[in-house]
Structure 1
Amino acid sequence: MDEKKRDVLQPVDDTAKRLAKTLVRTARFAALATLDPLDGSPSVSRVSLATAMDGAPIFLISRLSGHSTNLLSDGRCSLLVGEPGKGDPLAHARMTLIGTARQIPAGDEQTSYRSRYLRRHPKAALYVDFPDFSFWRFDVARASLNGGFGKAYALTAADLSTSLAGSEALSDMEEGAVTHMNADHLAAIERYAAKIGEDAGNWRLATLDPEGLDLTSGDRVARLWFDAPLASAAELRPVLVALAKP
């Protein structure tokens, strides 16, 4: 890396990692850039996004789409996440993820992704099981985070990944825990949203992982980070109870 480039980049600290992970975890969609097999030209489309428990982006696409054809030919691609909001769009945080996408075959991994994706995008239930649709996982190689003017960072895959060590059982219990919370503890979920400064608004729990939980209310998505990552799945219930206290 030349010195001029190095001077532009800021040291990657915990704040930058948290911002980067939040951008991915709360993204409803992403711009997907693939390579056209005809001549290698870049092609950009939009996909609805969710995340695997370890933080990897996942998306659902039809094999009839151009970007599906491109990925089947060459899995190298990029995702751009981060919504502009009000004012100057360049003043808002965004991140380019660079890596490889792979199609997920039927099995436990696909079942987990399907569940997490539908809890983020319930309307996709209308077509998720159509034979031409399939789930893809994006494996991050590196990322370029722009947190606003003068806040550029070069991140590694490890900076964005959530360790599942010790909490592997969380995947097996997640759907039941989410269903239970949404059926019986909506008041607690509203308190979760309030703790991170969100207005009241029929919030529901969408997904869990060892580092936090994602909430949805219509098109709104919010992230609540745990004070410390879960050391085991057994810690989930006490943490949820503590977070629900006024």
Structure 2
Amino acid sequence: MATEGLGFEARRLVRGAISATLATSAEGQPFASLVTPATAPDLAPLMLLSSLSEHTRHLRAEPRCALLFTGVPEGPNPQTAPRVTISGLAEPVPEAEVPALKARWLARHPYAALYADFGDFALWRVRPGGALLVGGFARATRLKLADLLPDPAAVAVVAAAEAEILDHVNADHADAVAAIAEGLLGAGRGAWRLTAVDTDGCDLALEERVLRLAWAAPVSDAGGVRAQLIRAARAGRNNPNKNMSDR
């Protein structure tokens, strides 16, 4: 697979993860902890961190860190699980960027609204420097930053159109969102809503449950998002094995 395709594979895994392992260090001593990331439109991992936590103290002193995102293994051997390690530099998100990026993080972790505004919590971002993609057992590829990250022009175009896309789809195409959630992704029936879109996929939510739909291929504009949503809704409606619970 070409590096462009491997980059997309890695992004799908990173954007779809609801948890990751954060590796930090303090005075040369490595430390690992569980975090709940989301991704900015440009793929930069976002973390809501408490100033009381060990890893936050580490990052303030030494911003170099790594994040391990792990998928589902193919069988009983954990080594068959796809995984991505992103290394980079962590930084607190500047105040001007916090509202938009915090909303994006909460769209991925809506349960955290209960504590997200506590004074000891702050939004952090990891600026990637590179990545290692392990597609499964003995399938490792080191990805340069240019191969890992989505196209910056496409990121900007889709981000600018996101709010209008969400409003339009949720207001006029709730049936399509339901078809994707229930028919394609196997969720139960409910008032599912589209909560985020990016170049690599979208998020759907019902109360505190969030589903990730990865596009079949990266998109570069609102038309590409529309085409992928239509494709997914059609597949959901035509799925003979779709979830029929609560009907």
- Does the CA-based 8 Å contact 1:25-1:223 persist in structure 2? no
Partner amino acid, structure 2, of 1:199: G
Q: 1:225 aligns with which of 215, 227, 235?
A: 215
Inter-partner Cα distance in structure 2 for 1:15 and 1:240: 17
Q: Secondary structure, in 3 states, of the residue corresponding to 2:43?
A: coil
Q: Secondary structure, in 3 states, of the residue corresponding to 2:156?
A: coil
Change (3 A) 1:12 1:41: farther
- Does the CA-based 8 Å contact 1:212-1:225 persist in structure 2? yes
Deviating beyond 4 angstroms after TM superposition, the runs of 4 or more aligned structure 1 residues are: 216-220
Matches within 5 A, 1:1-246: 13-36=3-26, 39-85=27-73, 87-107=76-96, 109-165=97-153, 168=156, 170-182=158-170, 184-193=172-181, 197-201=184-188, 202=190, 203-216=192-205, 221-225=211-215, 227=217, 229-230=219-220, 232-233=221-222, 235=223, 238-239=226-227, 242-243=230-231, 244-245=233-234
The gaps in structure 2 that reach 5 residues or longer are 238-247
- Does the CA-based 8 Å contact 1:93-1:147 persist in structure 2? yes
TM-score by length of 1: 0.81
Q: CA deviation at 1:137?
A: 0.9
State the percentage of identical aligned residues.
36
Q: CA deviation at 1:78?
A: 0.4
Change (3 A) 1:76 1:65: same
**Stretch of structure 1 that moved more, 67-76 or 151-160:** 151-160
1:1-54, CA deviations, whole angstroms, 9 ceiling, x for partnerless residues?
Answer: xxxxxxxxxx75344222211110101011001111xx3201111111100011
The gaps in structure 1 that reach 5 residues or longer are 1-10
- Does the CA-based 8 Å contact 2:49-2:121 persist in structure 1? yes
Inter-partner Cα distance in structure 2 for 1:125 and 1:216: 14
- Does the CA-based 8 Å contact 2:12-2:214 persist in structure 1? no
Inter-partner Cα distance in structure 2 for 1:130 and 1:172: 29
Q: CA deviation at 1:193?
A: 4.5
Inter-partner Cα distance in structure 2 for 1:214 and 1:142: 25
1:152-204, CA deviations, whole angstroms, 9 ceiling, x for partnerless residues?
Answer: 11011222212231663543442453355345533212333478x42143454
Q: CA deviation at 1:237?
A: 6.9
Change (3 A) 1:199 1:152: same
1:100-123, CA deviations, whole angstroms, 9 ceiling, x for partnerless residues?
Answer: 11111211x211111111111111
**Stretch of structure 1 that moved more, 42-51 or 172-181:** 172-181
CA RMSD of aligned residues (A): 2.6
TM-score by length of 2: 0.81
Inter-partner Cα distance in structure 1 for 2:219 and 2:225: 13
